[in-house]
Amino acid sequence: MTAALVIAGILEVLGGVLFWYESRAAGQLDSAFPEDQAFLRRRIRRRVRIAVLICLLGILMGIGGWVAPNQRPLLFVGSWTAAMCVTLLLLCIAAYDLFSVRLHWSEQTQRNLADIAQKRAELRAWHKSPEEDTARSRMGPGL
């Protein structure tokens, strides 16, 4: 299990780095709005931190499982205490990531809805403008 966590963490770090470089190459980060660029950078950093902490958790669990509690009790207790602290930190970062993603996309949705409402109002104002009414009367009925 320890090796699996370490390998998974390393693969996650590599995946995050590759995602960063691919999105830079594709121009996704450069073409996004500035607030979206900052959000994407922070999200990638958080997820790479999570991957590094998963690697650390695997190493700490390996140390805790390898050390005999009756031979080196301080190292045993310390490694498992550190593993629990890293697990708690992982949960906090994951909860923060979830909260920030939801907050970002809800703000984005509100901005989009406000833009749509503004465009509808502009369209209604244009549709009911006097120039448009006179142009319609010149064309005749049914046109």
State pLDDT tens for residues 94-106. 899 899 889 988 9
Q: Give which of 77, 58, 56 is closest to 67, Cα–Cα.
A: 77
Q: What is the predicted pLDDT for the residue at 88? A: 95
Q: What is the mean pLDDT of residues 82-90?
A: 93
Structure tokens at 30: 């450069």
Per-domain residue ranges for the chain?
2-139
Q: Give which of 29, 20, 90 is closest to 55, Cα–Cα.
A: 90
Cβ atoms of 112 and 75 within 8 Å: the answer is: no
Q: What is the mean pLDDT of residues 29-45?
A: 73
